[in-house]
């Protein structure tokens, strides 16, 4: 065990030293490789949370119990102020990606507790009034009013259930500690003006400020969907997003996004430095809670300012300016693909512009993935009524000097040797169309709907993927086959069954006759004849013989 401790301490020291940290481990104990306790006497680093993340990587185990404590640590924020963390502790109980507990105690700031059990997350965070006020910038709006409003400090309690079949998680979210009375009748307008002036002083605002009602609903909805899906559910901070970030970190994965709400991004850009560290994150959280819960800054005002201040390139701020810069037209003429393109660049505006000039393969791949990911989400959330008839997406036309960014598209069919019959594997009482199945396939990472034809329950035949292009419906045969899908395939109990209506069967026969005339050498087969599948849930070979196809 002494040798194990020595090796462990050496590895831990290397992890920290590579990131610029200096620490002294005064004691550690390992009873098993899944039960680790560490005490750190001192640590000197600006962004110590990065080292905490690296510690998770170092200790990653499917069933880990980690206790990490820091005594009398000092984090240097800038040349004027030092923040002392007295006996800060972090405890993790981690079983798998769906079950974990995290407790962080920072006596000089507050405490945080997150527990996840499958898709359920419980979140609790507390901070005292004195610590909150001390965290705020000296010039922050109405400090005395804030102190009077949150005399007992702030506590956040949240419970989530993010079921896989719902677009928006069930969210119970309470912010306690604020007095219900607003500090003044027009406090929201005052802090709005104050935020705008702060952004102007940093030259971080659109040259042509656009009011909320002048932004198309499409832009407002897409930005909320891509940047802050729980925007109208939370009160400045989204514990659900923070819980997912924590889950990613302790699962030894890189977090997807920073978990910041639109309100947090406003506060950060208006009042804080660009340096990434835990202190800045705590400040932006505190200011966001105060802005929405104390000053009652409205969601409309938050979204309006955000749409005017978002950085979209070197010296480009706001969606209005970005629309002219990249597409040469006003925002009310942007289509859904162009709007999604603008949201893609939000986390990476400078890198995006440079990659667009160079037409990098990474940009082509990631931008296309972003668009295909959010199109079905926008459809399910009724932001758009239908999936645009633009598949396969071959590229995006930008204004000069950028030109067209081309995407890869499916290959053309080499031949048509098979006409493959499929079912949609949906219940007998559920009808769906090309748009619905296209969304299902886009959600699975396809370029487009996998089938060339879809037959609805009333016999209507709808066109899917272009007939001359390879489909995505039967592995190993996509290069030389055409896919036909009838809607159905499951009975009332969810079991495989031939649920074709008479109208569907008539349309199926007519379509097969038409395709056989066009491709006379093609063989009509069922998906289950080529792969180990139930689909299409009936004997196609017998059906072909009966109908003399």
Question: Is residue 50 exposed (0-12), middle (13-18) or buried (19+ Cβ within 10 Å)?
Answer: middle
Does residue 454 contact residue 394 with C-beta atoms inside 8 Å? no
DSSP, collapsed to helix, strand or coil, labels residue 81 as coil
- Residue 382, φ and ψ in degrees, nearest 5: 60, 25
Residue spans of beta strands (DSSP E) within 144-288: 154-161, 170-176
* CATH code matching the domain that covers 418-546, chosen among 1.10.1240.10, 3.20.20.80, 1.10.275.10, 3.40.80.10: 3.40.80.10
pLDDT of residue 393: 85
Place of tokens 């800038």: 78
The strand pairing partners of 17, in sequence order, are none
Task: Output the pLDDT for position 324.
Answer: 95
State the pTM of this model.
0.73
Which strand (E) or helix (H) includes residue 69? strand 64-70
Please tell me the distance from the alpha carbon of residue 316 to that of residue 293, in angstroms, as a whole number: 31
**pLDDT, block means (10 residues), the chain with 549 residues:** 44 42 39 39 35 35 42 38 46 64 67 74 73 68 68 72 56 66 68 90 92 94 91 82 59 56 91 69 80 87 96 93 95 94 90 91 92 88 80 88 89 92 89 88 86 94 91 92 93 88 94 94 94 91 91
Query: What pLDDT does 247 receive?
Result: 55
Residue 438 burial (C-beta neighbours within 10 Å; 0-12, 13-18, 19+): buried
Every domain of the chain with CATH number 3.40.80.10 lies at: 418-546
Q: Are strands 316-317 and 311-313 parallel, antiparallel or unpaired?
A: antiparallel
Q: What is the DSSP secondary structure assignment for residue 429, as one 8-state letter?
A: T
* DSSP secondary structure, 434-475, as one string: HHHHHHHHHHTT-SS-S-SEEE-TTS-EEE-S-TTB--SSST
Structure tokens of 352?
């995006």
pLDDT at 95: 62
Residue 167's Cβ-count burial label (10 Å; 0-12, 13-18, 19+) is exposed
Bridge partner residues of 106 (DSSP):
110
Give the up-direction half-sphere exposure of residue 426: CA atoms within 13 A in the CB hemisphere. Answer: 17
Which tokens is 531 given? Answer: 């792969």
Q: Which residues contact 532 (CB under 8 A, 6 or more apart)?
A: none
Token output for 539: 């004997």
Rounded to whole angstroms, the Cα distance separating 427 from 448 reads: 23
- Give per-residue burial for 220-231: e unless 16+ CB within 10 Å, then b: bbbbbbbbbbbb
Catalytic site positions: 422, 451, 527, 533, 535
Nearest 10 degrees: Cα torsion 426, 432, 437, 440: -60
């Amino acid at each position: 065990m002494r040798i194990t401790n020595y090796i462990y301490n050496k590895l831990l020291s290397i992890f920290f030293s590579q990131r610029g940290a200096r620490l002294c481990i005064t004691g550690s104990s390992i009873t098993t490789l899944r039960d680790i306790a560490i005490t750190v006497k001192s640590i000197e680093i600006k962004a110590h949370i990065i080292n905490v993340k690296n510690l998770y990587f170092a200790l990653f185990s499917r069933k880990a119990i980690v206790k990490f404590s820091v005594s009398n640590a000092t984090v240097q924020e800038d040349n004027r102020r030092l923040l002392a963390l007295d006996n800060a502790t972090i405890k993790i109980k981690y079983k798998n990606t769906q079950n974990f507990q995290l407790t962080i105690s920072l006596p000089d700031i507050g405490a945080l507790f997150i527990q996840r059990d499958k898709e359920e997350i419980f979140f609790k965070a507390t901070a005292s009034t004195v610590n909150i006020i001390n965290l705020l910038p000296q010039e922050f709006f109405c400090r005395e009013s804030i102190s009077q409003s949150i005399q007992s400090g702030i506590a956040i309690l949240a419970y989530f259930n993010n079921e896989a079949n719902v677009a928006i998680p069930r969210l119970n979210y309470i912010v306690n500690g604020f007095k219900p009375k607003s500090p003044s009748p027009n406090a929201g307008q005052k802090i709005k003006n104050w935020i705008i002036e702060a952004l102007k002083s940093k030259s971080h605002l659109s040259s042509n400020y656009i009011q909320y009602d002048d932004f198309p609903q499409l832009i407002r909805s897409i930005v909320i969907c891509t940047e802050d899906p729980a925007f109208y559910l939370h009160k400045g901070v989204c514990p659900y997003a923070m819980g997912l970030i924590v889950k990613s970190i302790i699962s030894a994965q890189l977090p997807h996004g920073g978990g910041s709400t639109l309100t947090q991004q406003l506060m950060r850009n208006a009042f804080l430095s660009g340096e990434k560290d835990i202190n800045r994150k705590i400040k932006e959280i505190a200011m966001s809670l105060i802005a929405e819960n104390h000053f009652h800054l409205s969601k409309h005002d938050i979204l309006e300012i955000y749409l005017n201040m978002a950085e979209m390139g070197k010296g480009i701020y706001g969606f209005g300016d970005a629309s002219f810069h990249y597409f040469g037209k006003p925002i009310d003429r942007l289509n859904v693909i162009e709007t999604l393109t603008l949201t893609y660049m939000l986390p990476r505006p400078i890198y995006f512009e440079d990659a667009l000039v160079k037409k990098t393969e990474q940009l082509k791949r990631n931008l296309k993935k972003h668009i295909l990911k959010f199109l079905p989400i926008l459809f399910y959330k009724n932001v758009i009524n239908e999936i645009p008839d633009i598949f396969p997406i071959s590229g995006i036309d930008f204004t000069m000097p950028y030109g067209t960014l081309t995407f890869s598209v499916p290959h053309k069919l080499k031949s048509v040797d098979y006409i493959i019959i499929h079912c949609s594997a949906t219940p007998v009482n559920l009808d769906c169309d090309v748009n619905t199945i296209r969304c299902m396939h886009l959600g699975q990472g396809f370029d487009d709907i996998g089938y060339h034809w879809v037959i609805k329950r009333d016999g209507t035949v709808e066109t899917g993927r272009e007939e001359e292009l390879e489909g995505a419906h039967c592995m190993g045969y996509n290069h030389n086959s055409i896919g036909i899908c009838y809607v159905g395939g499951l009975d009332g109990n969810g079991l495989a069954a031939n649920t074709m209506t008479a109208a569907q069967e008539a349309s199926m026969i007519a379509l097969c006759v038409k395709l056989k005339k066009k491709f006379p050498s093609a063989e009509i087969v069922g998906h289950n004849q080529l792969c180990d599948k139930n689909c299409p849930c009936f004997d196609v070979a017998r059906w072909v013989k009966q109908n003399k196809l």
